[in-house]
Structure formats: C-alpha cells, structure tokens
Amino acid sequence: MTLSALRKPLASTARAADWWRGAVIYQIYPRSFQDSSGDGIGDLSGIVLRLPYIASLGVDAIWISPFFTSPMKDFGYDVSDYCDVDPMFGTLSDFDALVETAHQLGLRVMIDLVLSHTSDQHAWFKQSRKSRDNPRADWYVWAEPKPDGTPPNNWLSIFGGSAWHWDGRREQYYLHNFLASQPDLNLHSPAVQEALLDVARFWLDRGVDGFRLDTINFYFHDKTLRDNPPLPKERRNASIAPSVNPYNHQEHLYDKNQPENLAFLRRLRSLMDGYGAAAVGEVGDAQRGLEIMGQYTAGDDLMQMCYAFEFLAAEQPTANRVAEVLGDVATLAAEGWPCWAFSNHDVVRHSSRWALSPAALRVFATLIHCLRGSVCLYQGEELGLPEADVAFEDLQDPYGIEFWPEFKGRDGCRTPMVWEPSNQNGGFSAARPWLPVSSAHLHLSVARQEADPTALIHHYRRVIAFRHSHRPLMAGSQSEVSAQGSVISFVRAAGVERIFCAFNLSSEPAALTMPEGEWLTIGGELGVAHPSADGKLHLGPWQPWLAVARV
C-alpha cells in the first residue's frame, strides 16, 4: 500500500484549530517500537518505517514518549538537553524526517515534554548546584535543612523515600518528586518559565503539532514548604503509586497542585495557539484528578485536554463505575475536555489488569471511542497484548527494582512491539532487545493479525473509522449516563444527529428498555445487538448497541 493511499497529507486538509477535539492519539514508546540500527533499542528512524502502519489504523496523531538527550536513569523522563535527540534514538535530522513523513500521511505529531524536572546532568542543574549566588541558583527547588539536619518537610518521592536529597556543594536539600537524579525545576522563577517556553517554541518551530505534558500538576510547589497532612487509610488508592509506597499515606496539598500553575499554563497555551498546536496534560493525583483536569481545561485559554487516572486504575470498570466517573466529569469538568486512556507506559496493560476476554476487549475498545473526549491508545493495545512477565534479572525500571516483588514496575508494559512471529524478537530488532520480547506476544503480532479478518486489530480500525464518521462521537455533547445492572448507556449529540450508545459490561446477557423515539441500529460491523419485537434490547455478553435517532 502506498503512502498516498493511506491518508491525505496534512497540507491538503483543513488545519482546524480544534483538530484535537475528539482526536484518536497513538502513543509510541520509542525504545520499544522499532529498532532500525540493530542495537536492540528502538529509534526515530524505526518509527518512520512503521508510520504507514499507524496511519492504516486511522488515528489522527501520534504521541512520542521522550527521545531527548538523557542519562536514561528514568528512560528519557530525566532530560539533560531539551533541544536535542539522544544518540540512541538518532538525530534532529531523523526527527525532522519523522515529522515530514507523518504529515504526509495525515498524522499530527505530539511529543512528550517533561517540564517539572530535569536530569541532574542538565547544564542548568550543574550550574545551579555550584553555589547559592550563581545566575541559575534559584532555577531548582533548594531549601535549608531543619536544625537537626533532616529534610525541610515531610514530602515524599513517588519512587520511594523522602522527596529531598542533600547536596554537599550548597549544603542544602533539593526537591525531587521522582528519582534523586531528577531535581525539580523552580517554576516560581520567571527565568525558568521563559526557558521552558523557549523549549516548547524550539519544537513548535520544528513542526510538532502539540505536546503531551508529563506530570502537569507538579510544576509548582508551595513556596513556604508546608508539610502535607496525612491521608486517612480509607481515602488511599493506588492509582498513582503502588499500595506498598508510603506516598499514598499523604494528602498532597503542597508538593503539587498549586494555583500558580494556571498562569503558566495560560502562557503556554498562548504560545501554542500561534502555531495551531494542542496539548494533553497528565494529571497525577489520586484524590483530585478529575477536579484538576476540570480546572486545567476550562475555557479556551488553558490546556485543550487532560487525562486523569480513573480508567488507568487496577479495578475493571463496572457500569456503575463508568457512570460514576462520567458523572464526576460532568460535575467537575463540565467546561473541560477529557482525554481517555485504558493503558499507557506506566501501568499494567488493561488486557491483563482487568483480565479481559477477547469479547470484553472489543466492547471496551468500542466504549472508549464513544465517550465524550479524545482518546489515547498505547502501542500494542490494538493487538490486545497482555502484560509481559519480566524476570527480576531482566528488569530495567528503577521503580520496579525498588519495590519488587510486591510491585514489579513498568517494564511489563514496555516490552518491544511485536511485528511478526517468525523470530524470537518479533521483528523488533536483529539484536537482543533492551527488554525481552514476551513469547506470549508472538502469536498476537501485527503480521499474524493482519492475516486474520477476525483479529482485534481490525476491530480497532473499524471502531476508529466509525468514530470519525459520526460527528456526535467526535465532538458532540453527552447526556447524563445511566447504569442499569451491567449496562451503561448515554446519548451523544451534535446538531440534529443523536446517537444512543449502550454497552453490556458483563459476561452475562442483559436486557435494556428501549429509549423513547425511533432509533435505527448502526455499527453492524462492530457486533452490535438488534432490538427484538418485545420492545426490549437484549444484549449478549460484552455486546454494545449503537443507534441513530430518526429525524
């Protein structure tokens, strides 16, 4: 199939300012997507080789996890140079080729910006730690010890232990919400804000169409360094950090989620608007995620989209839980725009996390594409890949190494993409991959599923095409969500077109009273149910019904 046959180039399509609204975004974890150089690590040229495949899925954009220069202590989320490509991934010229090829295929390009912290190898931090009076002395969060030499407050790191690390050069502590080698930037400094806006401008000038903003609610800290209060046990959940991590024992009122962030996000939005770019922010908060999402996406001068962690949680969403989450969004983020995801590079793949059957995988894929909001799909999700079982001796993730065996880290969802089943590396690399390819993944490879018309990959293509063919599903309103037993239902509407959506989220049959009015069943290619003569809608296990109102 030729490139031109896949999608129209962006240059020949309308560049609508709201291209992001309702978009389907495909997340690429570059270390594990495609190795073109034979070193066992994925790279930018490898992504270029596979862009036609991504375009064939029908998605609107790609989001590429960090590829910047980095010592890789946290695999690229510890940036040592924001404006260059790490040699293991290629060069700036390779990135330019990626953007050009993606645009020719009709794909927009979003990159992962990590603005809350850098690597301790970044030139900014190297200068900042030299003294208390150099030009970048206040670019990071430095604080005096308590009189007894202990850290300035009780803040904890997501990766375990205190969020403060002692530095003998300055005889002060610096803040790190993640690894000690990831010092937090001080965005209370106007110079830091300007530097970060310059970073965004650098990539916008190279043609990117937007950003995924890592830990968007961590940008600012409480300037007075107040202690976080304890969090009652009944309010704890493990959506942000595993239950074995004491991070869950605090209510994080002061180490993140600060009101000053809104002014900076407005500055970033103003910059992006000049390029027609958009951003999706990652809101990392176990208690107030949807509330913060609502704050950060309200109006037209903040972020276009944010995602919280409600559907990245361990528990499989029941009809009641889906209704609860969507009801909370309607209350807390009525003016905002969510971005939904079931899997990403930080959580157990939802095929395993929720122990889903093939039929359940299909109905959840259909559900997410019918929700009001945009959608993020994680590489391999369209194949139904389960979580890989990575042995301790093969672990790379410092998070998993720290909390093993109660928490195995994130490597199980980061193993290489499987393109074909003919060799032990799944077509990812000619060399030994940086993480082992799961043998359980090989029979789910792209090549094998492409040859099977009943495979999950084709369902994803159909449901993405279905979403794009109905304006209410892309950008329409959403009615109050109803949960009747195991069935979730709602109406999406745009103009005169109204679509009724119902999903049986159960392995048992269910019945639903038909909604008032005349409805025409649509989406036959998605395995939908059909109304019966008794006025009831009988849904099989894990079956949807989709219908358009007769006008």
Please give, one letter per residue, the 3-state secondary structure of 3-57: HHHHCCCHHHCCCCCCCCCCCEEEEECHHHCCCCCCCCCCCHHHHHHHHHHHHHH
**Could you give the angle at the alpha carbon of 311 between the alpha carbons of 307 and 313, nearest 5°?**
115
Judge if the upstream peptide bond of residue 405 is cis by omega within 30 degrees of 0. yes
Place of tokens 């989209």: 305
Q: What is the pLDDT of residue 514?
A: 83
Give residue 402's Cα distance to chain centre: 23
- Residue 218's alpha-carbon distances to 117, 230, 276, 282, in angstroms, are 9, 19, 25, 10
68 within 8 A of 82, measured Cβ to Cβ: yes
Q: Which stretch of DSSP H or E encloses residue 307?
A: strand 305-307
Residues acting as catalytic residues = 214, 282
pLDDT at 513: 87
- The CATH 3.20.20.80 portion of the chain extends over 3-117+190-468
Cα(339)–Cα(333) distance, integer angstroms = 12
pLDDT at 10: 61
In degrees, to the nearest 5, what angle opens at C-alpha 339 toward C-alphas 515 and 358?
Answer: 65
**DSSP state at residue 392:** G
Residue 286 to residue 281: CA distance in whole angstroms? 15
CA-CA-CA-CA torsion sign (528, 532, 536, 539):
negative
> What values do phi and psi take at 293, rounded to 5?
-55, -45
> Is residue 152 a contact partner of residue 225, using CB atoms and an 8 Å limit?
yes
pTM above 0.85, yes or no: yes
CA distances from 169 to 117, 145, 147, 185 (A): 20, 14, 18, 18
Parts of the chain belonging to CATH 2.60.40.1180:
477-549
Q: Write the single-letter amino acid at 234.
A: E
Q: What is the DSSP letter of 548?
A: E
Residue owning tokens 């109102």: 549
Q: Which amino acid is at 501?
A: C
Dist. CA 140–CA 120, nearest whole Å: 10
Task: Select 477-549's CATH number: 2.70.98.40, 2.60.40.420, 2.60.40.1180, 2.160.20.80.
Answer: 2.60.40.1180
Q: Which residue has the tokens 């199980």?
A: 412
Residue 322: its pLDDT value, please? 98
Beta bridge partners of 112: 212
Give the per-residue pLDDT at 8.
53
Q: List Cβ neighbours of 372 (8 Å cut-off, separation of 6 or more).
A: 338, 476, 477, 478, 492
What string of pLDDT tens digits covers the 551 residues of the chain? 333 344 455 643 434 789 999 999 999 999 999 999 999 999 999 999 999 999 999 999 999 999 999 999 999 999 999 999 999 999 999 999 999 999 999 999 999 999 999 999 999 999 999 999 999 999 999 999 999 999 999 999 999 999 999 999 999 999 999 999 999 999 999 999 999 999 999 999 999 999 999 999 999 999 999 999 999 988 888 777 778 889 999 999 999 999 999 999 999 999 999 999 999 999 999 889 999 999 999 999 999 999 989 999 999 999 999 999 999 999 999 989 999 999 999 999 999 999 999 999 999 999 999 999 999 999 999 999 999 999 999 999 988 998 999 889 999 999 999 999 988 899 999 999 999 999 999 999 999 999 999 999 999 999 999 999 999 999 999 999 999 999 999 999 999 999 999 999 999 999 998 888 899 999 999 999 988 877 789 999 999 999 999 87
In the prediction, which pLDDT does 94 show?
Answer: 98
Which residues 6+ apart lie within 8 Å of 213 measured at CB?
113, 115, 279, 280, 281, 282, 303
> In the prediction, which pLDDT does 12 show?
37
CATH code of domain 3-117+190-468: 3.20.20.80
Q: Are 166 and 129 in contact (CB under 8 A)?
A: no
How far, in Å, CA of 421 to CA of 165, rounded?
46
CA dihedral of residues 391, 394, 397, 401 (deg, nearest 10) = 60
pLDDT of residue 534: 76
Strand pairing report for 487-494 and 497-504:
antiparallel
Q: What is the pLDDT of residue 9?
A: 59
* Residue 241 neighbours by CB under 8 Å, 6+ apart: 158, 247, 248, 286
3-class SS of residue 520? strand
Per-residue exposure over 226-245, b if at least 16 CB sit within 10 Å of its own CB, e if not:
eebeebeeeebebbbbbeeb
